[in-house]
Amino acid sequence: MIELSLTVQVVIWLVVIGIFLASGQASLFHPVTVYCIFHGLVFVLRPILVRSFGFDANWNYMIFQPTDAYFIKTLAVSSVALIVFATTCVVVGWAKPVFLTDRFPGFNAVERRALLATTLLLLPAVAYSIYATRNGIEGERVNGIYIMTNSTGYLNEAQHFAIPLLGAWLVATRFHWFNLAPISLYVGYRVWFGWSRWTILLFLLMTVLVYCWFYRRKWIPLWSIVLAIPVLALFNLLGHNRDLLKQFFAGESLHVVEQDVGMSRAEKIRKQLDTQDYANFDYLSYVVSVVPERTEAFSYGAQYLQLFTEPIPRILWKGKPVGAPVKMINIGAYGNFVGLTVSICGDGWISGGWVGLVITLAVAGALLGGAHRWFWRNTDNVLAAMLYLVALAMVPQWYRDGGISIFKFLLFNLFPVLVWMGMNWLMGPRLVASHFVPLPPGAHLRFIRARPRHAAGNNCGARSRPV
């Protein structure tokens, strides 16, 4: 039955992709495109590898082994999530995916000055964030959630302002080769730091999105696929050894994967590939198995109440609740779920089973679909387009994590774009009140405008008078 279910899983995925392409809505800029890639990797390819090669590293970590019935149920949950999300996102986000003009977008003088001012304003925060976290971040885990004890997330995460700033300067300089210098510094630092590997992948995705938008392409160029290969390899290496680059500069021997004595080559390869990098299927299997059978309840969306408490720094509120302020269930009580993510599918399942799954994925699809429709109406607006493209590059994190983490990522990655928009408004021309004319009670005001002579005929010079 599992082999049949895996086949059905592949068929459903391919059918959804086929319908999506046939709809005429498909492009690199559609949230469904990103979700189909995510789903194919973690909910189609991963379970096939788990079944075919006996991947069990994550089962052992979670102290959990799903039955065949829950294995199949997990496949069903992920497929329903795909169908609901894709349908809602395409319907709500229906737009004509055609660029308004063929010319390359450019910045005017005001936008350039505003971008320079934004960069100079935020760079000190980026530099101090990097300096403050150079030796790591002190903290502890409480109920499987890591909390900082000597700092605040607003300071530690400020370094991520660099991602949208680099993207904006790529466009401002028309992708000039000298951008390689700051990009190399940023990527090099992320590799040296070792943690938050997602910033490297999401930066690459943002760069590809911005490049395609700038050059008016609806699909990715070949070079981005070629570039993704070493980036993914680097991502995997850092997953095995976060201090890889530090050890290299220190002249120490590099240990990527512990090579146990007596292991065959196939076993070593399996050990290297059976990681937590794309194991959301494994985690979702755990979630589906314990909720609600073990927890005897759902969360009913209470995890989203954390949106009201999370913005308050813990150093200002010592007694701030860890995680959601109201906890209906604790999925970590039935296995080791420390450091793992539930995905947007699991978040919906935790909220209310099949009903919660449909509601969560429908809401997510509607929100992203609305943003997609707005993007195609504003493709020639540089600031609006950058706002959407940076946000779209962050959504894989939402698909992977679920819950409220996307709001934290968007906060630090959209903030520079919002500051840039504010600077552009301050530095540019704008309407201001010059004087006031009081009107008597009962007066009516009629707004008029002149029309071209060929449109107005003999009455082109006529004006309506205020009454």
pLDDT digits (tens, 9 = 90+) for 51-99: 988 888 899 999 999 999 999 999 999 999 999 999 999 999 999 999 9
Proportion of the chain above pLDDT 70, given as a percent: 82
Q: Is the peptide bond before 47 cis (omega within 30 degrees of 0)?
A: no
Looking at residue 463, what is its pLDDT? 44
Residue type, 202: L
Structure token pair of residue 320 = 């701030």
CA atoms within 13 A on the CB side of 342: 23
Q: Of all residues in the chain, what percent are helix, strand and coil, respectively (each to 5)?
A: 65, 0, 35
Distance (Å, whole) CA 71 – CA 281: 9
Which pLDDT value is given to residue 225?
75
Q: Are 61 and 338 in contact (CB under 8 A)?
A: no
412 to 22, 28, 87, 415: CA distances (angstroms): 36, 23, 30, 5
The alpha carbon of 428 is separated from its chain's Cα centroid by a whole number of angstroms, namely 31
Q: Output the pLDDT for position 467.
A: 41
Quote the DSSP letter at residue 139. E
CA pair distance 187, 319, nearest whole angstrom? 37
- The answer to whether 28 and 212 have CB atoms below 8 angstroms apart is yes
State residue 238's pLDDT score: 61
> Tell me, what's the pLDDT at 138?
59
Name the stretches of the chain with pLDDT < 70. Answer: 134-152, 193-196, 231-262, 265-266, 268-269, 452-467
